[in-house]
Amino acid sequence: MADQNFVDYVKIMFRSGKGGAGSVHFYRGPAMPKGGPDGGDGGRGGHIILKADPQEWTLLSLKFTKHIFAEDGQSGRGGLKTGSDGSDVIVKVPLGTVARDAETGEFLLEITEKDDIKTLLPGGRGGKGNNFFKTSTNQTPRYAQPGEPNIEKWIILELKVLADVGLVGFPNAGKSTLLSAVTAARPKIGDYAFTTLVPQLGIVKVREGQTFIMADIPGIIEGAHEGRGLGHRFLRHIERNSVLLFMIPADTERVIRDEYEILINELEEFNPELLDKPRLLAISKCDLIDGELEKMLRETLPEGIPVVFISAITNKNLGQLKDMLWKMLNAE
């Protein structure tokens, strides 16, 4: 998908509908010139509702939307007539959409299942008419409830990409090259940092009938958990991946073990639960080294994580990589 068509962040002013006011009214008729109270209740204001749309993959449909307002409820009327409810506004969003208060950052809700329908902002309740307040000691109440006010908020909608395998690494680690080698995806590839600015998805075919989705997440930089380099917008996509494939190039200037620890620290600082996901480490760009240098690099590997040396250019060990990922995805 084209970069300009992948929208994973929008900020919109949402406003639910206010409730209609209750009516103060008394029955008047030829045979009853001074009848009792018959003011009806006000109608409910419209809700703002988020609904899952499995056919949507981005927030592109909301890119140019700045305001979404629901309809107000109608006031009650005489003759015990209840005002009409305001129409709800249903906003269709892709799976993985998270709603947050733009001012406080407070988490509001998340759309994760294909049948999810959740109320983002409830409409105000309608007020009670004066008929509701009549009693044996107050048979002619001359008051009614006003409707509840609406709720108005600037809300941020963020998308977390759903994929089986997420690629994690610093910029220029070879993630886009790997994705293009094992899938039909054609991400932008270049020999400079931040070639990838939005997540790219591709389907990896292991064997006949065995496939999984791989996501190329934009490169992390040190301090990403603090928001550096659009870190929060990059890191949130990793939260919805089942397996994390760490990628460190063979020609890295750091010791491989140290670079891996930096990546782990960024994930832990952002969300400690990310470390509960299965992990695999791929040493990329191995077409740049010989067997002797590979042997030396093995002495600098971190412990406690399976490692595979690969080259997306020469296809070195790509079959083994896919088999390892498939096994991890289907482990008990």
- For 88-126, write each residue's pLDDT tens digit: 999 999 888 999 999 998 999 999 888 899 999 999 999
Same domain, 70 and 208: no
pLDDT at 196 over 50: no
CB 101, CB 152: distance < 8 Å: no
Same domain, 302 and 217: yes
| Residue that terminates a domain, selected from 128, 159, 190 | 159
Tracing tokens 């919109």 back to the chain, one arrives at 12
Same domain, 177 and 312: yes
Residue 143's φ and ψ, nearest 5 degrees, are: -145, 160
Range of the domain at 149: 1-159
CB 109, CB 93: distance < 8 Å: no
Same domain, 272 and 167: yes
pLDDT at 194 over 50: no
| Residue that terminates a domain, selected from 113, 141, 159 | 159
Number of structural domains found in the chain: 2
Same domain, 153 and 169: no
Same domain, 96 and 214: no
Mapping DSSP to helix (H, G, I), strand (E, B) and coil, where does residue 211 land?
strand
Cα 113 to Cα 110: distance, rounded to the nearest angstrom: 9
| Residue that terminates a domain, selected from 159, 193, 227 | 159
Cα 298 to Cα 248: distance, rounded to the nearest angstrom: 13
| Helices 175-182 and 318-329: angle between axes, nearest 10 degrees | 90
Same domain, 151 and 262: no
Same domain, 125 and 265: no
| CATH number of the domain that residue 125 is part of | 2.70.210.12
Centre a 10 Å sphere on the Cβ of residue 291 and count the other Cβ atoms it contains: 8
Same domain, 305 and 242: yes
**Pairing mode, if any, of strands 48-52 and 89-93?**
parallel
Same domain, 202 and 120: no
Same domain, 195 and 77: no
* Dihedral (CA of 89, 232, 266, 195) sign: positive
**How many CA atoms are closer than 13 Å to the CA of 131, on its beta-carbon side?**
20
Angle at 137 between CA 136 and CA 138, to 5 degrees: 100
Q: For 51-87, how does the pLDDT look when each residue is reduced to its tens digit (9 = 90+)? A: 999 888 788 899 899 999 999 999 999 999 999 999 9
Most confident of 184-193, 194-203, 276-285: 276-285
| CATH number of the domain that residue 316 is part of | 3.40.50.300
What is the residue-averaged pLDDT of the chain? 86
Same domain, 325 and 193: yes
Rounded mean pLDDT of 129-158?
A: 95
Query: Band of the pLDDT at 221, cuts 50, 70, 90?
Result: low
Rg over alpha carbons for the chain, rounded to the nearest Å, is 29
